[in-house]
C-alpha cells in the first residue's frame, strides 16, 4: 500500500480525534461556565434574601422602638430602611431575571414567591405606618396590642415562612446544580478517557507503520545514498515492496551508472565556469561602481560650481564694465572698483576651496595638517574673535587632541556665524567629554529648524526655511564644510533641538581617528 494513503488515513483519524477533543473541551468549558454562573446567581440571591430579612426585621424593630420611646427622627430611620428593603427586592428580581435567561421558565416560581414576600412586606409597612402615626397616649395600649398581633402572626409566622421557603429554594438550586455538574464531569471524563485511549492506539499503529514502512527503508536508502556520495556506484539498494521509497531506490540504482560518468565531467566544467564568472562579475561590479561614483561626483561638482560661480563672476564682470564705461575716472574710483573686484574674487576663491575640500573628503582624499593641541584653549581663542558676548561652558581643565587647527577654527567660525545669522541673540558654546573623544556644540535660542531639514542642512547650497525668507547672503556651504572637516578627522557633525527652544550645532571629534579616513602630510 502507498505510504501517502496510509499517512493520509492516519492523519484524518488523528484530525477526527483532535476535533473531538476540542469539541469536548469546548462543551465542558461551556457547561462549567453555565454551572458556575447558576451557582453564583443562587449565592447572590441567597445573600440578598438575607439582607432583605435583616433590613425587614430591623424596620419592624424600629417601628417597635418608635411605639415604646417615641419617634425621635420623625420617621427618617424607617424611610431609609424601607428604601433599602425595596432596593433588595429589586436586586433579587434582577437576579431571578438573569436566572430565567440562563435556565428558562423554571425560575418563574421564585418570581411569584418574591411577589408574595413583597406584598406581605408592603402590607406590613402600611399597617406599621398607621400605628406609628397614631401615637396618642390614649391609643398606646390599643396600638401595642395590634402590633403584637402583627409580630406574632404576620411576621413570625407568615413572613418568616416565606423567607425560609425562598432561602431553601436557593439552597436546593445550588445543590441541584452541583449534582448536575458532577454528572457532567463524570461524562466528560469518560469521553476524554475514550479519546485518549483511541489516540494512543492510533499513535501506536502510526509508529509501527512509520518504523516498518519509512524508517527501515529510509535507513537502507541513506546507506545507498552515502555509498553513491563516496563514489561507490556499484552499490545496489534493492529495497523490497512497492512503496514510494522502494521506487526511489530502484530509480537511484538505475541512475548510479550514469552519475559516475557525468559527475566528473560536470564537476570540472562547473568549477571552472563558476570561478570565471565570479571573477568577472566582481571585476565588472567594481568598475561599474567606480564609474557610477565618478560620474555622480563629476555631475554634482559641475552643477555646484556652475551654480555658485555664476554670481561672483557676474559681479566681477559688472564691476569691470562700470570701471571701463564712460570717460576717465579718478584713481579713487578705479581703486574702489578694483577693491570690490578683489573681494568678490577672494570670496570666489574661498568658495572653490570649500567645494574642493568637500569633494576630496567624499572621495577619501582629504589631507590634514595635524598637531597636538589643547582643544579648550583653541575653542576659547576662536570664540574670542566674535566678542565677549559668547560664553564658553566646559568643566574640562584640558582637552588634548591631535587635529588640523586651521580647519577646526574654520568649523567653529562657521558654526557661530550660522547661529548668529539664523538663530537667536543668545549664543552659548559648550565643550564636553564623550566616550570616544570630545563634543563641541554651539547653541542658540532662535526659531530652530524642522526635523525634516536638519539632515538636509548638510547638503551643499541648501538653505533652510528659517533662512530662505530672511537672508539673501550665504552660499549654503558652512555646515557641509563643517561635516566634511569633522568626518575627515574621523568624527561627525549634526543638528539637534536645544532644550528650551533653539538649535544646537554639534561636532564630535574622536581622540584616535581611524587611519582610513585621512592621509597625513
pLDDT band at residue 521 under the 50/70/90 scheme: very low
506 near 495, Cβ under 8 Å? yes
Distance of CA 513 to the CA centre of its chain: 37
Angle, in degrees to the nearest 10, between helices 375-384 and 405-422: 50
Within the chain, what is the greatest distance between any pair of CA atoms? Answer: 142
Lowest model confidence (mean pLDDT) among 39-48, 131-140, 306-315, 411-420: 131-140
Mean pLDDT along residues 111-128? 80
395 near 430, Cβ under 8 Å? no
Nearest of 194, 190, 184 to residue 17 by alpha carbon: 194
3-class secondary structure for 69-84? HCCCCCCHHHHHHHHH
> pLDDT (tens digit, 9 = 90+) per residue, 217-276?
777 778 877 877 777 767 777 677 667 777 777 777 777 777 777 777 777 888 888 888
- pLDDT, averaged across the chain: 77
471 near 422, Cβ under 8 Å? yes
- Burial environment of residue 202 by CB neighbours within 10 A (0 to 12, 13 to 18, 19 or more): middle
pLDDT at 475 over 70: no
Which H or E run includes 261?
A: helix 244-324
Residue 372: per-residue pLDDT: 92
Mean pLDDT along residues 450-463? 75
C-alpha distances (whole Å) from 429 to each of 88, 388, 393, 505 are: 75, 12, 6, 10
495 near 454, Cβ under 8 Å? yes
Query: What are 251's three cell numbers?
Result: 530509480
Torsion of CA 362, 363, 365, 371, to 10 degrees: 20
pLDDT band at residue 65 under the 50/70/90 scheme: confident
- Compute the distance between CA of residue 261 and CA of residue 356 in angstroms, rounded to an integer: 63
- Compute the distance between CA of residue 346 and CA of residue 393 in angstroms, rounded to an integer: 34
C-alpha distances (whole Å) from 479 to each of 387, 460, 493 are: 22, 8, 8
pLDDT, greater one: 193 or 105: 193
Nearest of 98, 96, 199, 116 to residue 158 by alpha carbon: 116
pLDDT band at residue 428 under the 50/70/90 scheme: very high
- Compute the distance between CA of residue 489 and CA of residue 404 in angstroms, rounded to an integer: 8
Residue 430 has phi, psi (to 5 degrees) of -125, 150
- Compute the distance between CA of residue 131 and CA of residue 135 in angstroms, rounded to an integer: 7
Tell whether pTM > 0.75: no
Query: In the chain, pLDDT over 70 holds for what percent of residues?
Result: 74
Amino acid at each position: 500500500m502507498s505510504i501517502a494513503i496510509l499517512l493520509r488515513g492516519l492523519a484524518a483519524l488523528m484530525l477526527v480525534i483532535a476535533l473531538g477533543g476540542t469539541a469536548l473541551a469546548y462543551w465542558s468549558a461551556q457547561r462549567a461556565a453555565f454551572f458556575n454562573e447558576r451557582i453564583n446567581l443562587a449565592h447572590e440571591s441567597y445573600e440578598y434574601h438575607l439582607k432583605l430579612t435583616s433590613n425587614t426585621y430591623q424596620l419592624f424593630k424600629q417601628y417597635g422602638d418608635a411605639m415604646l420611646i417615641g419617634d425621635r427622627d420623625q420617621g427618617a430611620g424607617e424611610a431609609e430602611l424601607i428604601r433599602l428593603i425595596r432596593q433588595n427586592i429589586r436586586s433579587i428580581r434582577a437576579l431571578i431575571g438573569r436566572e430565567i435567561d440562563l435556565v428558562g421558565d423554571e425560575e418563574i416560581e421564585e418570581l411569584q414567591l418574591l411577589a408574595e414576600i413583597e406584598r406581605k412586606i408592603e402590607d406590613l409597612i402600611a399597617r406599621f405606618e398607621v400605628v406609628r402615626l397614631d401615637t396618642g397616649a390614649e391609643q398606646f395600649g390599643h396600638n401595642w396590642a395590634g402590633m403584637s398581633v402583627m409580630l406574632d402572626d404576620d411576621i413570625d409566622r407568615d413572613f418568616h415562612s416565606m423567607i425560609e421557603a425562598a432561602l431553601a429554594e436557593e439552597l436546593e438550586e445550588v445543590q441541584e446544580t452541583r449534582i448536575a455538574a458532577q454528572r457532567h464531569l463524570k461524562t466528560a471524563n469518560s469521553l476524554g478517557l475514550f479519546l485518549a485511549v483511541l489516540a494512543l492506539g492510533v499513535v501506536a499503529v502510526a509508529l509501527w507503520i512509520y518504523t516498518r514502512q519509512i524508517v527501515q527503508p529510509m535507513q537502507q536508502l541513506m546507506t545507498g545514498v552515502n555509498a553513491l556520495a563516496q563514489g561507490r556506484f556499484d552499490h545496489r539498494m534493492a529495497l523490497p515492496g512497492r512503496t514510494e521509497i522502494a521506487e526511489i531506490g530502484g530509480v537511484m540504482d538505475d541512475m548510479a551508472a550514469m552519475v559516475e560518468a557525468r559527475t566528473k565531467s560536470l564537476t570540472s566544467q562547473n568549477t571552472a565556469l563558476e570561478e570565471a564568472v565570479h571573477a568577472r562579475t566582481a571585476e565588472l561590479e567594481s568598475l561599474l561602481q567606480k564609474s557610477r561614483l565618478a560620474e555622480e561626483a563629476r555631475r554634482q561638482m559641475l552643477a555646484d560650481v556652475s551654480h555658485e560661480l555664476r554670481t561672483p563672476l557676474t559681479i566681477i564682470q559688472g564691476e569691470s564694465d562700470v570701471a571701463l564705461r564712460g570717460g576717465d575716472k579718478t584713481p579713487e574710483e578705479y581703486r574702489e572698483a578694483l577693491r570690490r573686484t578683489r573681494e568678490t574674487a577672494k570670496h570666489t576663491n574661498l568658495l572653490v576651496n570649500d567645494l574642493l575640500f568637500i569633494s576630496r573628503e567624499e572621495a577619501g582624499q582629504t589631507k590634514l595638517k595635524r598637531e597636538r593641541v589643547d582643544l579648550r584653549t583653541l575653542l576659547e581663542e576662536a570664540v574670542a574673535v566674535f566678542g565677549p558676548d559668547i560664553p564658553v561652558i566646559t568643566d574640562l581643565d584640558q582637552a588634548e587632541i591631535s587635529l588640523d587647527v586651521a580647519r577646526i577654527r574654520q568649523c567653529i567660525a562657521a558654526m557661530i556665524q550660522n547661529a548668529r545669522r539664523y538663530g537667536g541673540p543668545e549664543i552659548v558654546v559648550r565643550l564636553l567629554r564623550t566616550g570616544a573623544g570630545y563634543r563641541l556644540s554651539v547653541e542658540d535660542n532662535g526659531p530652530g529648524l524642522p526635523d525634516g531639514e536638519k539632515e538636509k542642512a548638510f547638503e551643499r547650497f541648501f538653505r533652510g526655511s528659517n533662512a530662505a525668507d530672511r537672508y539673501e547672503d550665504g552660499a549654503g556651504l558652512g555646515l557641509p564644510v563643517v561635516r566634511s572637516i569633522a568626518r575627515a578627522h574621523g568624527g561627525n557633525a549634526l543638528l539637534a533641538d536645544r532644550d528650551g527652544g533653539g538649535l544646537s550645532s554639534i561636532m564630535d571629534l574622536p581622540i584616535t581617528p581611524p587611519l582610513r579616513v585621512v592621509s597625513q602630510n
